Amino acid sequence: MTDTVKIFDTTLRDGEQSPGCSMNLEEKLRVAAQLESLGVDIIEAGFAIASEGDFEAVSQVAKQCESATVASLARAATADIERAWAAVKHAKFPRIHTFIATSPLHMRVKLNKTPEEVLAAIEHSVSLAASLCPDVEWSAEDATRSDPDFLCRAVEVAIKSGARTINLPDTVGYATPETYGAMFRDVLNRVPNADQAIFSTHCHNDLGLAVANTLAAVMAGARQVESTINGIGERAGNAAIEEIVMALKVRHDVMPFRTNAVTTEITRASRLISGITGFQVQPNKAIVGANAFAHESGIHQDGMIKDASTYEIMTPESVGLNASNLVMGKHSGRAAFRQKLEELGFRLGDNEFQDAFVRFKALADAKKAVYDEDIIALVDDEVLRGHDVIQVKEVEVYCGSNGPQRAILTLEVDGKETTVTSKGNGPVDALFNAIRMIVPHDQSVLERYEVHAVTGGTDAQAEVSVLLSEDGRTVRGRGAHYDTMVASARAYVNALNKLMVKRGKSNLNEASAG
């Protein structure tokens, strides 16, 4: 048994199932590129049969990736498996990941199948996948609530049918480290052909135990871990890649395993996912939170001055976190700006670079000091929003104690500009009313509106996040600008673009006014 633990990233599939989280094709390709820079071994690019958009995303990620295996999820159905193969077959290293539930509850309620019918479905689906693709993974959905004897039978059938990776997920976050580790030991000891497969974890965080359960399974023999950047995912999320990787690295003394992860890319990956999804990382989040390496206590500060190892078990640099440096100003030229972008991990095309440089100059004129975080927010906002069909062109807001407040807004929708004036109960309300006038969406509800400063000071850029819901769909939008109202308009419009995609509308003119 090898001491290398493979990292299986499912940010683009399970992570995108977080309420309000959706990514367009360009965003998914950018995430996939960063995941390869991070050194993940397998990228689960999506659920190919779910929609044409999912199929296209999986296909494009498969064609783009140079080093990572690219997987598509598929149910135990012929159409799913054939669609998954069609999506990943152009990858240098393709994988079909098929699954079926094995717990009594899921088999009875969800599948309406007997245990014998489930075993037959495993044999058929895995055999079909193996006939198409050289790399097949099989998952026992709700493994932690499955009957141990039946789970062993199911695993044996899956391996016999051609699966070379076996995933035993804690689908509902029910397990504890002791029970999860024991399940892996039991299956590895009892299944006669277990030595022919790599065993994998997939833990949800409903009880806050996803990372602990994952590490317990690794200690018990698992050699692949399924996880997401920042731990995003359904309900309470998944096990966080950054926490697993750094736990294995820092505590190598008690967990003598290694990964292929490039840990200095962790912070960049975290910021990218946060920027794309609009999910802000909580300040006290392990590894990547704003306070992860902050020390306020006098006793802690004194120890840090004398020797950083008194209170830091890893360095900020080891996860790619650099000090906030004053880097550039309004006199900085294109060459210096391009060099700074490369240092921060951005690789922009000529048009994207020019747009970002123009916005940087405007920011440098408006702010006294431009920090790395400012440039990251600026470029994330520029690159990630550049393909939106609805674009914010101009914003004017009139506000004060003697309302009503008023907003004048110009949006470009499918290449056509429209300007309206609207009133509201406050400047944000007036601004969002103006957006609704240009692009009507009366059934949508603004569930959340959040603002935070990128850096300190009264001239700090604002990052705004909004959550829109409509008919059971939820989307998050994000915008950044040194003017909070402009950032607000961009965030709302970004969410609206995502909502239009979820509705399946290809032509926004149908929903536009004027």
51-77 mean pLDDT? 96
User: What is the pLDDT confidence band of residue 298, given thresholds at 50, 70 and 90?
Assistant: low
Please tell me whether residues 490 and 394 are part of one structural domain. yes
Identify the pLDDT of residue 68. 98
Residue 286 lies in a domain: no
Which H/E stretch holds residue 32?
A: helix 25-38
User: What is the pLDDT confidence band of residue 64, given thresholds at 50, 70 and 90?
Assistant: very high
Identify the pLDDT of residue 228. 97
In this structure, what CATH number is given to the domain that contains residue 170? 3.20.20.70
Min mean pLDDT across 10-19, 73-82, 374-383, 390-399 is at 374-383
Residue 68 near residue 36 (C-beta atoms within 8 A): yes
Min mean pLDDT across 32-46, 110-124, 340-354 is at 340-354
Please tell me whether residues 87 and 212 are part of one structural domain. yes
Residue 1 lies in a domain: no
SS3 84: helix
Of 363, 385, 407, at which residue does a domain stop? 385
Please tell me whether residues 460 and 346 are part of one structural domain. no
Tell me the chain's radius of gyration from C-alpha atoms. Answer: 24
Domain that holds residue 460: 390-511
pLDDT of 300 above 60: no
Please tell me whether residues 299 and 365 are part of one structural domain. no
Min mean pLDDT across 140-154, 240-254, 335-349 is at 335-349
Please tell me whether residues 360 and 472 are part of one structural domain. no
Residue 287 lies in a domain: no
Residue 208 lies in a domain: yes
Residue 480 near residue 463 (C-beta atoms within 8 A): yes
Residue 7 near residue 39 (C-beta atoms within 8 A): yes
Please tell me whether residues 86 and 224 are part of one structural domain. yes
If you ran DSSP here, which 8-state letter would residue 113 be given? -
Please tell me whether residues 335 and 437 are part of one structural domain. no
Question: DSSP letter string over 474-512?
Answer: EEEEEEEESSHHHHHHHHHHHHHHHHHHHHT-S-GGGG-
Give pTM, 2 decimals.
0.82
Tokens of 52: 């044409």
Please tell me whether residues 356 and 417 are part of one structural domain. no
How do residues 176-205 score in pLDDT, each as one tens digit?
999 999 999 999 999 999 999 999 999 999
Please tell me whether residues 336 and 459 are part of one structural domain. no
Residue 106 lies in a domain: yes
Number of domains in the chain: 4
Residue 313 lies in a domain: yes
In this structure, what CATH number is given to the domain that contains residue 499? 3.30.160.270
Beta-carbon count within 10 A of 148 CB: 13
How do residues 11-34 score in pLDDT, each as one tens digit?
999 988 776 677 888 889 999 999
Alpha helix stretches (DSSP H) within 367-483: 372-385, 427-438
119-142 mean pLDDT? 98
Please tell me whether residues 235 and 367 are part of one structural domain. no
Give the neighbor-by-neighbor strand order of the sheet with 405-413: 390-398, 405-413, 416-424
Place of tokens 């609206």: 496
User: What is the pLDDT confidence band of residue 512, given thresholds at 50, 70 and 90?
Assistant: very low
pLDDT of 514 above 50: no
Residue 165 lies in a domain: yes
Please tell me whether residues 197 and 142 are part of one structural domain. yes
Please tell me whether residues 376 and 394 are part of one structural domain. no
Residue 41 lies in a domain: yes
* Whole-Å CA distances, 65 to 62, 83, 318, 363: 6, 19, 25, 35
CA–CA separation, 244 and 234 (whole Å): 19
How do residues 38-52 score in pLDDT, each as one tens digit?
999 999 999 999 989
Task: For residue 487, give the nearest of 365, 378, 373, 328 by alpha carbon.
Answer: 378
Which H/E stretch holds residue 97?
A: strand 94-101
Tokens of 298: 């006098």
Tokens of 321: 């976190």
Identify the pLDDT of residue 508. 34
Identify the pLDDT of residue 337. 86
Task: For residue 450, give the nearest of 418, 491, 499 by alpha carbon.
Answer: 491
User: What average pLDDT does the chain have?
Assistant: 89
